[in-house]
Each structure stands twice: as C-alpha cells, then as structure tokens.
Structure 1
Amino acid sequence: MRFHRNLVEAVLDGADQIFNQGQYADKAVERLLKRDKRWGSRDRGFIAETLYELVRYKRLYAAIAEVKDPFSREDLQRIFAVWAILKGHRLPPWEMFASTPTRRIKGRYDTLKTQRKYRESVPDWLDALGEKSLGEGLWEQELHAQNEPAPVVLRANTLKGDRKKLQQALAAEQIASKPLDGLPEALELEERPNVFRTQAFQDGAFEVQDASSQQVAHFLQAAPGMRVVDTCAGAGGKTLHLAALMENKGQLLAMDIYGNKLQELKRRARRAGAFNIETRVLESTKPLKRLAGTADRVLIDAPCTGLGVLRRNPDAKWKLQPEFLKEITGTQQEILQRYSRLVKPGGKLVYATCSILPAENAEQVQTFLASEAGKAFRLEGEKSLLASRDHSDGFYMARLVREG
C-alpha cells in the first residue's frame, strides 16, 4: 500500500478527535470524509477503516508504541506506525516515521498478544466483568467477534416494495447484495458503498439496519390495526420497521425524551412513506397516565451499555465507566416499571437491549416479573443473539404477556 500524506494526516486528526477530545468515532469519521471533495471512495475507505481499526485496538497499539493517553501528535504517529507494521505495510520515508523500530514492534506484539486484555484490546474492568458475566470461553469468543468489522445490512421498506425489488434496484446502481435467511426484508451488501447516495435510498426503499435489530419488530408481533407504542423510539429505526409491518394501519406512537431524535424520525418517516406514526416528546408523565392500559403492543428498546454493538461503535468500550452499569440497570428497571403500565390485558410487551450482559437482560426481566407491577405479566419468550454465534450484533429481547 502506498500512503498519501493528506490521508494519513486525516487519520491522525481523527484519532486526536476521538482519543483526546472525546468525540464519537462515527461523527468524527463523517466530518473527516467531507474535508476534501477530491477524495474518491478508496481514499474515504482508507480513512474510515484505518480509524476504526485504531479505535478497536487502541490499547494494544498504544502499549506496543509505549505511549499513554492523552496522546501527543508524535504519540499518534507512533500508534499509526504500529498499525502499519503489524498489517504488513511499508512505511513511507517521511520524517515522522524515520525512527520506527520495526523489529521491536513485532517483538512487543508477540509478547502482548498472549494476554486477552491486550490481544482483544479492552479495559481491565470490562474484561473482568465480561468474564464474570459470560464465562471465560464465551467472553473471549465474543470479544474477538466484536473486533471484526460489521457488514452493511439493509432492511427493505415493504411500504415501497419487497426485498427482491430492492435487490434489483441496487444491482442497477452496481451494488451487489445477498438475502439473509430467516429475515424477510434483510439484504447484506458485498462491499461498503455509500448507499445514502443511491436513488433507492432517496426513494425510501430501504433503511440501514443490522440483522439483529431487524428481529425486534417481528418479535413484538405487531399487526395492522393495532395500537402500538415504541417507548424509547430515538430516531426511529425500529419504529419505521413497525410501521411497515403494520402496513400503515392502526396507531403507532413513538415516544422519546429527546425532541431532536423524534424530528429525525419524522424526516425518515416522510421518505419511507410511513404515515401512521405519531411522535410525542415525553416532558411529563401525563401522556403515560392517559395511555395506561390501552396499548396492544409496547416496545421498550431500553438504553444500555451497547456492549453488543462494539463492532459498529468500538469507541464505546473506551467511553464506558464501571459505575455506568449500575446506573443504567437502575434506569432500565424504572423504564420497565413505568411503561409496562401502558399494556392492556391480553397485550404484549417486548423489552430489548443491544447488550450481551445478563445484568441488563434476563436478570432485568426476572426482577420485573418478581415485582408488584410484573405480577400481571408472564414471560412468553426470549431470545439472545451474539456476534460470535449469530454473526450479527449482540441483542436480547424478551416478550411478556399481560394476563390481568
């Protein structure tokens, strides 16, 4: 590989923004890719893929480079050099790489790769938590799988057409894809093009949504004509899927505490042709009181640690702090207690997270079922998805039926 200085400098700028300034990796990459309109798809791919690789293996590369954060520009150059050497690339004869100790880098890698916390690049506390929660073998497999880049998966918007029609439309724009078994709307792309520039996207024919996430709406068993409430809708990926499954019939109420996210949902809904969605910013408990006992289906896509989606958000493992788990599990139980009241007798509730920790998943459901509010519910089914086993994001979902 031949390195170009402006691309390397862009990677170093991005690493500084993510590691030192605390910016989210996806946002930093998005801004960087707009820096120079002359960059082609290969240039943009190099910047994005290299940056994500540096984020995934931050601890390993920094340890080999013998630097600690906050990283100076020289430190970041050394980390980049480690990445390049370990990937088998020849460094250019630039001054910043003049004293790169290639043999020492390889030697330190051979030493450090014997320790999981370096090999898979994870903080000590998180490594200990994962091993305790999942067991050593499964945790190691999952860590390794979460360090693999995630594929691009699309969900065909059945309000506009089926998966076959979408596949044909993408092929007409030279984008190859393959259907995923068991998921009627899912297409996995063979490469990583900018799908947001396609005519199919402008026409609302699809949304980008991982295979695991696509299972949640189906798991809720929503049907046309129902009253469905998406309680933590955010920007509405699952809301839009529900609208399609409901065929735009019935009432779909999307709620969130963040109005800006619901504005994004409205924009996406217009493009998707989803018009049975009503958004509501939760500024008080009054809307919940009025809706108590009226919903056929309630989805709680709960806030969580996000440890099931590190393939997509690798910087999360560096931003998470040990005390956050205790805080978020408290919030999750509060949300379960509050929103379960919306379900009418005979109705169903799905609690879902993009975490792989039992403390956020099955244990939360059992705690709820043992509570006063949970006595009216029974567990009808649950599903756990793992990157190492299911080749998709780590997810959990439980479906509860209100019997009284």
Structure 2
Amino acid sequence: MTAPLMDDVRSLAYRLLLQMDKRPAHPDRLLRVALGRNPALDPRDRALLTELVYGVLRWRRRLDWHARVLSEGKKIDADVLVLLRLGLYQILFLTKIPAHAAVHETVEVAKTAHGKRVVGFVNAVLRRTLRLGDAWPWPDPRHDPVAYLAVMTSHPEWFAEYALKRWGLEEAYAVLSANNEPAGTTCRVNVLKVHRDEVIRWFRERNVAVEPSPVLPEAVRMGALRMDVGACDPFVQGWIQVQDEASQMVSLVVDPKPGERLLDLCAGFGGKTTHCAALMGNDGEVVAVDREAWKLEALRENADRQGIRCITVTAADVLELDPAKTGLFDRVLVDAPCTGFGVLRRNPDIKWRRAARSPYRASLTQKAFLRQAARFVRRGGILVYATCTIFELENHGVAEGFSRDFPDWVLESAADVLPESCRAMTDGPYLSTWPHRHGMDGFFAARWRRL
C-alpha cells in the first residue's frame, strides 16, 4: 500500500481540527485514533499531521487575527475559519513547506469540503497572505498591550489582561511565549527495575539524544524523537515512565516512606501514584482514587508494567469517600482538578476551553477537595495539595485559605524535602515551577503536617 498524498494528511488534519472546534476533545487522543486508523502514513506524514494539529491549536488566536485582517473584517463561517487557520499556519510558521504549495494544498482540501464560493474565498485570502509578506498591522504594545499580548503570543484576551496586571508587559510576554514552545520529552526512570545509566545507554545506542536531568537523579531528558516512546522496549519493560520533572517533584514533596499507607486522590493514569510507590520501594500500601474507572484501569496496567504491587484502586467521587471505611493514612496527596494553565505547552487546546471565571470556579472545587482530603490524614501525617496551573487563586489562594481555616495543621517548606538542585524552584514554602524560568511544566504544591 502506498503512503497517502500530502493533501490527504491536510484533509485529516482539517477533520480533526473541525471536530475539536465543534466539541472539546483531547488532541493527543484524537491523533492516536487517527494514526491507528491510517497505518500506511509514513513517519514524515505522521509528524506533519501532529505538527499541523498542535500548531494550529497553539497559534489559533494569532491565525484568527491574520484571517480577520485578510478578510477585512468580513464574517467567516466557523468551518471556513478552521480551514484558513490550517492554511495560514503552513504559510506563516512552517518554513520547510513552500508557501505556494501550502496555498495549493489548502485549496484542494477546500474543494473536497466546500462549494466554489468558499474555494475562491480561501484561495484569495491565502494568496493575499503571500502578497503582504511581513507588512502586517500588528497591535501596538504602547497603545493596546492586551491586544499585543493576545495576538503576538496567541492567548485569549482575558488571560493576556490577567498576565499584564500580574507581571507587567515584559515578563507577561515571556510567560505567554513560553507556553508556545513545544515541550520536550522527559522520563522518570523506574529504579525498582533499572539504573538511569542503563536507560541512557539503551537510547544512545539507537542514536537518540538523551541526557540525565540536571535537577532530578531519576529523570532523563530526550531530544527530538523519531520513535513512539510508548512502544519502545524500555517503556514496555517498565524501565521508564513519561513524566515531566515538575510532576515528579510533587511526589518528592509528598516524600513517602517504605511501609506507610498513602492515599492518592484524583490519581488519574497514575504517574504520581506509581512514582510514590517506587519511592516507597514497593513496600507499603498506596490507595489510588479516581471517579473515572477507565483511568484506573490504565493505572493498573501502568503499575503492572512497572512491577508495582502495592497499589490498590478505588473508583469513587472524592467528596463521597468516608475515612471510617478507608481508615487513616500516613500521607495524602490531592492532585486537584485545575485549569491546567501550567501545561499549555503540551495541551494548547486548554487555552480555548477556559474563561476568565474558570480559575475561580476551579478554586471552589479545590477547596472542597482539600478539606475532604484532610479528613484522611492521621495525626502527625502529611497532606500535599498540588495543581498544574499558574493562577494565584488556585494555588496560593487555596493553600493560604486552608492554613487560615485549619490552625491545627503546620505548613512545611517544600524545600526541606526536595533535592538541593530543586530548591530554587520554590516560592516561600511552596513548590512553584514555571516553563519560562525552569524549562518545565508549571506546577504548584503545598505541604502540611497534622498536629
């Protein structure tokens, strides 16, 4: 079977982007399904498909601005706008694709999905892009800094306004720009099975650029990958877990010990769950809770792959759990649902699925989860609250509110349990990582001890 033509790849990208525009969906899952249904795609086409989908999602706000300028403010139907984003992204951001080829291929996609009027409109807009070159009427940062930030860094206006008020123009630009840098691949080495040096040797023997993490002794950083990490032998054998360094630091803040009981609320797929179990030497009891049973099934498979036997799972609503039935725990981690604005490098679609009130709404849930989690901690035990977002309302606001309302809990410094190499990644007593400062995801964690 021959590989599909390039316009087929673009048609597929268009369908996926349309699907996400009409109904929120995780791009990585949609891409996995699409690639699984198109096994004949060669590696270059697979890479192009991924680049087109994530690139358009990442730069959507700026692409829409270009489309409005080019159409002179005329109303553009939603499905046509999605197609223009796809064409404009190739012309303006993908330098390896000739601009005229990008126009031609996008027009070909238009022919398969729209009538002559739309085809002509798409062709005219994209060809005008070529004529304009670099002569765009960019927003002026002096007269309209919010529009400047929103367009130049491709973020919603409400978030650009928030960033400007919090950090000022220069740092706000750095924060927002970092969200558009594709995140590298970081893996945690499963020390229950292998030493980090052996993992590094395996990848280097296959000409994969890999380096030991400069901040974590059990992590490795990888360069551009031409392989599916989830299909490689080290992953299949349970030697590694794909996990950003910031996420790994949360488990270090929990600091679990062998023989303890640990409760992981909102466990999800179990990245932190299995890390905590490994830190315990696979000795003790880890109870993982999530309301989504399918996630817990994936967690079980993840634990089995890593050779971890001390984890049990419970499908339940966190707020309905009863400590009288579960017993108390030495340590409790509540990795709370959040707006996710610390992981926009990996999940750019999140930008367009949140609104100005989202941090406030999330903080209400987080406060309820944290108070509930506290009920499960024995006296002298540890409670850790974590998010993957950067909003003060969800981070410091929730943590400070808990400390104020529960005086029988002592806030402890995250720096005291983190490796020396990580201690600069703290904000007062809290763990606080940033893409633009540390080159990793944006995470927050607070730790208390019950008196």
Q: Residues 217 and 242 of structure 1 are in contact (CA less than 8 Å); yes or no, is this contact kept in structure 2?
A: yes
Q: CA deviation at 1:162?
A: 1.8
How far apart, CA to CA, are the structure 1 residues paired with 2:346 and 2:447? Answer: 26
Aligned residue in 2 for 1:111: 138
Shift of 1:31: 2.1
2:408 to 376, 383, 392: 376
Kindly indicate whether residue 112 of structure 2 is the aligned counterpart of residue 76 of structure 1.
no
**Counterparts of 1:247 and 1:141, CA distance in 2:** 40
CA distance in structure 2 between the partners assigned to 1:332 and 1:244 by the alignment: 27
| Residues 259-293 of structure 1, C-alpha deviations (whole Å, 9 max, x = no match) | 2211111111111111000111225735423346x
Q: Which residue of 2 aligns with 1:29?
A: 31
CA distance in 1, matches of 2:236, 2:199: 12
Question: Contact (CA 8 Å) 1:55, 1:314: kept in 2 or not?
Answer: yes
Partner Cα separation in structure 2 for residue 303 and residue 79 of structure 1: 31
SS of 2:20's equivalent in the other structure is helix
In 1: Cα distance, 2:204 partner to 2:275 partner: 23
Change (3 A) 1:319 1:204: same
Q: TM-score by structure 1 length?
A: 0.92
Name which of structure 1's ranges 233-242 and 129-138 shifts more when overlaid on structure 2.
Answer: 129-138
Equivalent residue runs for 1:341-356 within 5 Å = 341-356=375-390
Is residue 309 of structure 1 aligned with residue 357 of structure 2?
no
1:386 aligned partner? 434
> Aligned match of 2:295 in 258, 261, 278?
261
Closer, same or farther: CA 286–151 of 1 in aligned 2, 3 Å: closer
Alignment correspondent of 2:62: 60
Q: Name 1:42's counterpart in structure 2.
A: 44
Distance 1:43 1:295 in 2: 50
**Distance change in 2, residues 1:233/1:134 (3 Å):** farther
**3-state SS, counterpart of residue 315 of structure 1:** helix
User: Deviation at 1:166?
Assistant: 1.4
Structure 1 SS opposite 2:155: coil
Question: Take 2:176 and 2:8, find their aligned partners in 1: how far apart are those partners?
Answer: 33
**Mapped pair 1:319 → 2:319:** no
1:154 aligns to 2:187 (yes or no)? yes
1:197-244 Cα offsets, whole Å, 9 max, x none, are: 111111111111011101111111111111111112111110010111
Q: Write out per-residue CA displacement over residues 167-187 of structure 1, whole angstroms, 9 at most, x where no aligned residue.
A: 122334443311111211111
* SS class of match (2:36): coil
Shift of the 346–77 alpha-carbon distance from structure 1 to 2, 3 Å rule, reads: same
Letter in 2 for 1:280: T
The aligned counterpart of 2:323 is 288
Matched ranges for 1:209-288 at <5 A: 209-283=243-317, 285-288=320-323
Q: Is the 8 A contact 2:265 2:334 kept in 1?
A: yes
Distance 1:46 1:85 in 2: 14
Distance 1:24 1:286, change over 3 A: closer
- Measured at CA, do residues 69 and 258 of structure 1 come closer, stay the same or move farther in structure 2, by a change above 3 Å? farther
Residue 140 of structure 1, CA deviation? 2.2
Normalised TM-score (structure 2): 0.83
Aligned-pair CA distance for 1:110:
5.0
Map of 2:215 onto structure 1: 182
Change (3 A) 1:286 1:19: closer
Q: Root-mean-square deviation (CA), in Å?
A: 2.1
* Of 41-50 and 173-182, the range deviating more from structure 2: 173-182
Gaps of 5+ in 1: none
Query: After superposition, what is the alpha-carbon deviation per residue over 1:34-69, rounded to whole angstroms, capped at 9, x for unaligned?
Result: 232221222111110121111011111122122777
Aligned to 2:301, what secondary structure does the other structure show?
helix
Distance 2:219 2:180 in 1: 23
Deviations for 1:240-259, whole angstroms, at most 9, x for unmatched residues?
A: 10111111101111112222
Q: Structure 2 counterpart of 1:328, which letter?
A: A
Q: Report the number of matched residues.
A: 397
Closer, same or farther in 2 for the Cα pair 1:16/1:113, shift >3 Å?
farther
Q: CA deviation at 1:12?
A: 1.5
Identical aligned residues as a percent: 31
Which amino acid is 1:125 matched to? Answer: W
Counterpart-to-counterpart distance in 1, 2:312 and 2:132: 56
Structure 1 partner of 2:144: none
Q: Which runs of 5+ in 2 are unaligned?
A: 109-121, 142-147, 414-429
The amino acid across from 1:289 in the alignment is A
User: Residue 123 and residue 177 in structure 1: after superposition, are their counterparts in 2 closer, same or farther (change >3 A)?
Assistant: same
With 344-353 and 86-95 compared, the bigger mean Cα shift is at: 86-95
Describe the SS at the equivalent of 1:347: strand
8 A contact 2:360–2:394 mirrored in 1: no
How far apart are the structure 2 equivalents of 1:27 and 1:69?
A: 28
Match of 1:300, SS?
strand
Change (3 A) 1:162 1:83: same
Asked if the contact 1:297–1:343 (Cα under 8 Å) also holds between the matched residues in 2, the reply is yes
Q: Quick one: which amino acid aligns to residue 212 of structure 1?
A: A
Which deviates more, 82-91 or 386-395? 82-91
1:86 aligned onto 2:92: yes
> Do the aligned residues in 2 keep the contact of 1:86 with 1:106 (CA within 8 Å)?
no
AA matched with 1:378: V
Q: What's the counterpart of residue 163 of structure 1?
A: 196
Aligned residue in 2 for 1:400: 448
Structure 2 residue corresponding to 1:361, chosen from 361, 374, 395: 395
